[in-house]
Amino acid sequence: MRTPSLYSQDDPISAAMKPPPTETDAERNVRLMAEAEAKRVSDQIDEDLRQERERMKRKKGDVKLLLLGQAESGKSTLQKQFQLMYKPNSLDQERISWKTVIYFNVVHSLKHILNTLEAWDDTLDEDPIEDAESISQPKSRVNGIAQQPSPSASLMTASSMPSGLTSSPAWSNGSSHTLNVSREPGAVQISNLRRRLTPLMATDAPLADRLSGGITVSGSGKGSVYVRNGWQARTIENALGRRKLSHETEVKKSLESSYDSGQDILVQDVGRMLAAAKDDIKDLWSHPTVKGLIARRKLKLDEWSEFFLRHISRVAAPDYIPTTDDILHARIQTMGVAEHVFDVNIHGKSVSWHLFDVGGARGQRHSWVPYFDDANAIIFVAPVSAFDQYLEEDPRTNRIDDSLQLFTQICSNALLKSVHLVLFLNKTDLLKAKLETGLKVRKYITSFGERSNDYETVVQYFRAHFLQVHRRNNENRRVLYTHFTSVVDTKATQRIIGNVRDSIFRGYLQSAALV
């Protein structure tokens, strides 16, 4: 059978496309231009498809690494360590934008201290220091009675392992406190400090809006500030009052120069206020009532709060630029999933690593699932220092229990059965510090029983529970690599990252049938 040519009279499509005999020269030119544009678009689509096939072919050799764990476990700090190790210039480019975060951390910490002092009438009760074993969850006072959650009955035991956690929802009463009516000298001092620091406290909300762009996240913590990937550039855009920057180079220039040129008025104002209030902040931080409330565990501060308050003289300096250590300690909560790409050279072979840092709050964990499908490796970060802490989203749930439940879900997920799994038992430095103050694990996790309260016993106890979860959900006999970490310690963490890199790369070669 004869195949019709393009302009064959037997081909109805050709007949339909054939120009009418009455076509004028002007109509012909328009038609030819339209055909040329259609061909250009078609050729561009073909080229895009070709490039996408090439990218997919190259991407087959990439490593996809997920950082998973609950909020405030240290995932974003670990991501910064990867960035510092494999892409240090990028950290330098965004260094100045961390100034906003650190100022917010300082102001927010001071606001928390002053609010707690106000709840206790700016005085320190004359009762003896609370037993270090007592619950440390921040208490709400109702008719003079302190309310607090009861300790977790146990970690995940053999009977409760499949179904999740054991965390008692019951509430128990603490000791009652009588508010002092008279104003003691210490209370007068704090009142004066509060009055002088009030203008600085008023910058808390504007700094939060600068970082988040006004975005709030429901169901993921009370009063927390969340940022999306690329917040560094958007912080500058918001400061400049611009909706969008046209090119990435312009973003980088803005990051490097906006503060120096005085374009971010808010951050400049906060810097001047911090410099002026530096001595008042020192007096508040060293005040006996503040120290007493901390000792009695009526005032709880996060590690980053204490870090920046200890270094307030440097942070409040007019020429302050965040150091790498400052950036590692700075706290800002991630919303959604942020991808970071690093070229990792090992044994002469360069491999692109796609590291995904995900939001760990309960309301954001649903966003993890789409990234499970083709993941090569997971680093699960669990903060072992959090045995005396409770979820911000659910004050009845012990954070260690929540980590174990989350780890169970990861280990049992069918999409992740063959994924290389690394466990970071993180914040060991804070665990040691808590145990040295006499804090008893058994008061928060009763299944700990009468075991010795020393660091080695405690950390091995937690490790055993995570290993038990893995054994019960390990049909493919996957090896679990476990590390005790403090991810703010750069030298130790980068040494561990090197070990993790080697183990992941061996798994990568095996999966690619290259060894």
Closest CA to 476 of 421, 418, 422: 418
334 is in an annotated binding site: yes
332 is in an annotated binding site: yes
Given a contact cutoff of 8 angstroms between Cβ atoms, the answer to whether 69 and 487 are in contact is no
Which token pair is 236? 């500058």
330 is in an annotated binding site: yes
328 is in an annotated binding site: yes
68 is in an annotated binding site: no
Given a contact cutoff of 8 angstroms between Cβ atoms, the answer to whether 226 and 212 are in contact is yes
**364 HSE (CA, 13 A, CB side):** 24
CA–CA dist 210, 100 (Å, integer):
8
29 is in an annotated binding site: no
Hey, is 13 helix, strand or coil?
helix
331 is in an annotated binding site: yes
429 is in an annotated binding site: yes
379 is in an annotated binding site: no
* Beta partners for residue 343, in sequence order: 352
End-to-end alpha carbon distance in the chain = 54
* Beta partners for residue 172, in sequence order: 148
Which token pair is 192? 């004066």
E strands in 165-290: 171-176, 226-227
* DSSP per-residue letters across 128-167: PPPPTTS--SPPEEETTEEEEEPPBS-S--TTTTTT----
Q: Count other C-beta atoms under 10 Å from residue 102's C-beta.
A: 23
CA–CA dist 419, 397 (Å, integer):
29
333 is in an annotated binding site: yes
**Binding residue numbers:** 328-334, 426-429
**Binding residue numbers for GTP:** 328-334, 426-429
**Binding residue numbers for Mg(2+):** 334
